[in-house]
């Protein structure tokens, strides 16, 4: 006699991560004091070196990424990110960064595939072949599931500088 098993949905635990980085800020062009509208031009230079699991029970808990695997202190992890420029009619801000995902060492091919997807989406947007849903990029997470992310490098004053990854460590 066979028994019919019921499929039970279980909630997967997620982990909130804060990206640790060194950042340098600077001014490329000061605002013109004679103009009440000029904002000048600035830049940022980000150097991510690690991630830290955030305790979400604390009063002030800030995070950059959410992953559905427990990051361990040993092992190789790839941090996928994009750098972009933004601004308005009155000034430019260069070197903004968007952290996209953390991937285990065995999934380097997923990271490389996502970089190709981001770059192709941006090229399609610039050549006007993407109009509907232009601010959404389809990427693959560490478990191989596809989902959409917002693309802050898409817009009238925005431009993608690069999509890249960096090897980072898990910090305490």
Tell me phi and psi for residue 112, to 5 degrees: -65, -40
How far, in Å, CA of 154 to CA of 31, rounded?
25
Q: Which secondary-structure segment (H or E) carries 147? A: strand 146-150
Supply the pLDDT for residue 20. Answer: 96
Say if residue 112's pLDDT is above 70. yes
Say if residue 61's pLDDT is above 50. yes
Region 163-171: what's the mean pLDDT? 96
- Percent of residues, the chain, with pLDDT higher than 90: 70
Query: What are the extents of the domains in the chain?
Result: 15-106+153-171
- Percent of residues, the chain, with pLDDT higher than 70: 91
80 within 8 A of 29, measured Cβ to Cβ: no
For residues 117 and 7, the model is more confident at: 117
pTM of the model: 0.86
Per-residue pLDDT reduced to its tens digit, 133-157: 778 999 999 999 999 999 999 988 9
The secondary structure of 95-140 as a DSSP string is: EEEEEEEEEEGGGHHHHHHHHHHHHHHHHHHHTT---TTTTEEEEE
At 23, list the tokens: 């950042």
């Amino acid at each position: 006699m066979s028994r019919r098993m019921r499929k039970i949905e279980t909630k997967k635990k997620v982990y909130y991560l804060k990206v640790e980085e060194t950042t340098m800020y600077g001014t490329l062009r000061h605002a013109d004091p004679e103009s009440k509208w000029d904002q000048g031009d600035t830049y940022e230079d980000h150097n991510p070196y690690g991630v830290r699991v955030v305790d979400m029970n604390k009063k002030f808990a800030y995070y950059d990424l959410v992953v559905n695997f427990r990051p361990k202190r040993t092992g190789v992890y790839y941090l996928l990110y994009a750098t972009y420029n933004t601004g308005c009619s009155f000034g430019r801000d260069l070197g903004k960064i968007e952290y996209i995902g953390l991937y285990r060492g065995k999934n380097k091919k997923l990271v490389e595939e996502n970089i190709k997807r981001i770059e192709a989406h941006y090229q399609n947007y610039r050549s006007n072949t993407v109009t509907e849903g232009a601010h959404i990029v389809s990427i693959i997470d560490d478990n191989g599931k596809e989902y959409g992310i917002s693309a802050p490098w898409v817009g009238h004053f925005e431009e993608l500088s690069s999509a890249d990854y960096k090897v980072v460590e898990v910090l305490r």
